[in-house]
Amino acid sequence: MRTRLVLLVVACIVAGACSDDVEPELAAPTTTAVPTSTYDVDEAMDGVREDVVRLVMERDGLDREAAEVRADELMERGVDTEVVDQQFSLFANWMDNHQSHPVLGRHWTEDEAECAVVTMIQVEGIGRTGALMNGASVGGMAVEDALSLVQPVGYCTDLLALMKADMVGLGVPQDPDCLLAGLVEEDVAKWFVALFMYGREGFNTAMGEDLDLTCPAGS
142 domain residue, yes or no: no
Q: Within its chain, how far is the Cα of 53 from the centroid?
A: 27
Whole-angstrom Cα distance, residue 46 to residue 44?
5
Parent domain of 13: 3-136
Question: CB of 75 within 8 A of CB of 46?
Answer: no
For position 54, what pLDDT does the model report? 74
> Mean pLDDT by 10-residue block, N- to C-terminus, for the chain (219 residues)?
53 50 37 43 63 72 85 65 71 88 95 89 83 92 96 95 95 94 96 97 96 84
216 domain residue, yes or no: yes
pTM over 0.75: no
Total Cβ atoms within 10 A of residue 77: 10
115 and 163 in a common domain? no
For position 79, what pLDDT does the model report? 55
Total Cβ atoms within 10 A of residue 83: 18
Among residues 7, 4, 186, the alpha carbon closest in space to that of 110 is found at 4
